[in-house]
C-alpha cells in the first residue's frame, strides 16, 4: 500500500465553509468510491481561526487543505485526482513514506467527524547547506525526540516525499502533520507542554527553536493550522 498526499487550493470565490463542504462531501465520497483504503482530509476552516498567529506562509497563495489517500498503487491514481481536480483551483500530489512517532490514541474521532484540537501541517524544504543524508539524520534522528519532549502533541506524522506525482508540483522534501490540544492555538504554555510553569515553557521553546534551525530555513517553511477529518479509517 502507498500513501499519497495532495495539497489543494480553493477557488477564490469559495468560502472556507463551502470548500470544506466540497472536500468532506463530494470529493470524499468519490475518492472512497474509487477504492481508497483510507482517507484523511485537512482543511483551513473556522475551527482554527484562533490559531491565525501561528501561520507561516512561504508558499503563495497558501494551501487551503491536505488530502491523504492510501492506495494499492499510486500508478492507478487518476480516479482520485479526477475527483479532487473538479473541486479545487489547484492541486499538487506527492508520493510519501510515512512515519508516525506519536499515534493518536487520545482523541480519536469517528469517521466523518472532526478530530478535536488543531491539526498543524508543516511543509519543509531541505536547506542547500545540508546533504539529504545530513538533513534526514538531523530531522528524523535527532529532532524527532526534541519535538516530542517539548510540545503537547497527541499525534505526530512525518512524511518524507519520495517524488512528486503531478505536473509543476512545488518542491517540498517533507510534509509534517501534528495534532495539538485546542488550547495550544492561543496559549504558548499549552503548546510547549508547560502549563503553569513559565520557566519550563521558555526552556522547551528554546530547545525546540535551537533544534529546528539546524535543518529548517524559516523563510522557506509553511506552517498551516487546519482541522482534521478522518473520512475512512
Write the pLDDT tens digit of every residue in 156-186: 999 999 999 999 999 999 999 999 999 999 9
Domain 2-232 has CATH 3.40.190.10: no
The mean pLDDT of 96-115, rounded to a whole number, is 97
The mean pLDDT of 181-197, rounded to a whole number, is 97
- Over the chain, what HEC string results? CEEEEEEEECCCCCCHHHHHHHHHHHHHHHHHHCCCCEEEEEECCHHHHHHHHHCECCCCCCCCEEEEEEECCHHHCHHHHHHHHCCCCEEEEEEEEEEEEECCCCCCCCCCCECCCEEEEEEECCCCCCCHHHHHHHHHHHHHHHHHHHCCCCEEEEEEEEEECCCCCCCCCEEEEEEECHHHHCCHHHHCCCCCCHHHHHHHHHHHHHHHCCCCCHHHCEEEEEEEEEEEC
pLDDT of residue 143: 97
pLDDT of residue 38: 98
pLDDT of residue 199: 97
Domain boundaries, the chain: 2-232
pTM equals 0.96
The Cα–Cα gap between 55 and 151 comes to 17
pLDDT of residue 112: 96
Q: Is residue 221 very low, low, confident or very high in pLDDT (cuts 50, 70, 90)?
A: very high
Write the pLDDT tens digit of every residue in 12-61: 999 999 999 999 999 999 999 999 999 999 999 999 999 999 999 999 99
Q: Is residue 62 very low, low, confident or very high in pLDDT (cuts 50, 70, 90)?
A: very high
Amino acid at each position: 500500500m502507498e500513501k499519497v498526499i495532495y495539497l489543494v487550493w480553493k477557488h477564490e470565490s469559495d468560502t472556507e465553509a463551502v470548500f470544506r463542504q466540497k472536500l468532506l462531501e463530494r470529493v470524499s465520497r468519490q475518492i472512497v468510491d474509487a477504492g481508497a483504503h483510507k482517507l484523511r482530509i485537512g482543511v483551513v476552516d473556522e475551527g482554527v481561526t484562533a490559531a491565525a498567529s501561528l501561520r507561516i506562509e512561504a508558499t503563495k497563495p497558501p494551501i487551503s487543505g491536505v488530502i491523504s489517500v492510501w492506495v494499492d498503487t499510486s500508478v492507478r491514481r487518476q480516479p482520485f485526482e479526477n475527483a479532487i481536480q473538479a473541486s479545487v483551483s489547484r492541486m499538487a500530489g506527492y508520493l510519501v513514506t510515512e512515519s508516525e512517532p506519536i499515534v493518536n490514541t487520545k482523541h480519536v474521532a469517528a469517521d466523518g467527524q472532526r478530530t478535536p484540537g488543531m491539526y498543524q501541517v508543516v511543509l519543509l524544504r531541505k536547506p542547500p547547506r545540508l546533504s539529504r543524508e545530513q538533513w534526514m539524520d538531523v530531522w528524523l534522528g535527532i529532532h524527532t525526540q526534541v519535538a516530542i519532549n517539548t510540545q503537547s502533541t497527541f499525534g505526530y506524522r512525518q512524511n518524507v516525499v519520495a517524488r512528486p506525482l503531478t505536473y509543476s508540483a512545488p518542491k517540498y522534501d517533507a510534509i509534517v502533520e501534528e495534532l495539538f490540544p485546542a488550547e495550544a492555538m492561543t496559549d504558548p504554555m499549552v503548546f510547549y507542554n508547560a502549563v503553569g510553569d513559565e520557566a519550563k515553557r521558555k526552556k522547551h521553546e528554546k530547545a525546540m527553536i535551537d533544534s529546528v534551525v539546524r535543518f529548517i530555513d524559516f523563510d522557506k517553511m509553511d506552517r498551516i493550522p487546519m482541522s482534521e477529518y478522518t473520512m475512512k479509517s
